[in-house]
Amino acid sequence: MKKALLSVLAMAAIIIPSYGQVPVSEVFQVGDILVSAGVGIPSRYSTPLGASESVSIPTIIHAEFGIQEWFSVGPVIGLTAFPVTVQNVDYSSQIIHLGARASFHATSLIDEATDGEFGLDGIDVYGVFMPGLVLFNVINNDTDPRVLPALRARVGLGAGVRYYLTPSIGVFVEGVAGFQSFATGGVTFKFKR
């Protein structure tokens, strides 16, 4: 999976120069609809049993609707599913994060404050706030097939950077503390209302 992601990023680095840059004024606007999907590096919230021997890859999908010059809001869903063994007992575990996402898009403010010195064309720098609910579902596969669900409130706070390869397709990387992955990378599709 890591090799595939690195290959995609390397190809994007080769393809990027062939497209024109997206001007800062068009990176994020009122009425934009952003639909993103990505995979992440699991955080400690991805292993509710506290087991570290299992590696799981969280998947995240979210949408954002540009409601103001610098703000977007929308839903987010994340899923992590993996087997885990704790004290010689096999479990199946699923973690589902359902919530909202609010982003503050700061690129135009940074560009204005620095008189364009950083050359931020095509780059969307943003902060993220994600309140939501997390459902932990654990099934003991050996002796007791009961489901042990738990529902918790969780708040994520972080930052990210999105680079637009074309006016409607971008790649992103973000870090959000308190969410099921502390680092996420993926692709964004931008639509106009």
pLDDT tens per residue, range 133-153: 988 777 776 666 555 677 888
Instruction: Give the per-residue pLDDT at 22.
Output: 84
Separation CA 91–CA 156 (nearest Å) = 27
CA 65 to chain centroid: 15
The pLDDT tens digits of the residues spanning 4-59 come to 656 666 665 555 555 557 888 888 999 999 999 999 887 665 555 555 555 678 89
The full set of domains in the chain, from first to last, is 2-192 (2.40.160.20)
CA distance 186 to 181: 13
The pLDDT value recorded for residue 75 is 98
Q: Are 179 and 130 in contact (CB under 8 A)?
A: yes
174 burial type by CB count under 10 A (0-12 exposed, 13-18 middle, 19+ buried): buried
Q: Provide φ and ψ at 145, rounded to 5°.
A: -75, 15
For the chain, the C-alpha Rg in angstroms (whole number) is 19
pLDDT at 135: 85
| Neighbouring C-beta atoms of residue 48, cutoff 10 Å | 20
For residue 47, the model assigns a pLDDT of 53
Distance CA 119, CA 111 (A): 8
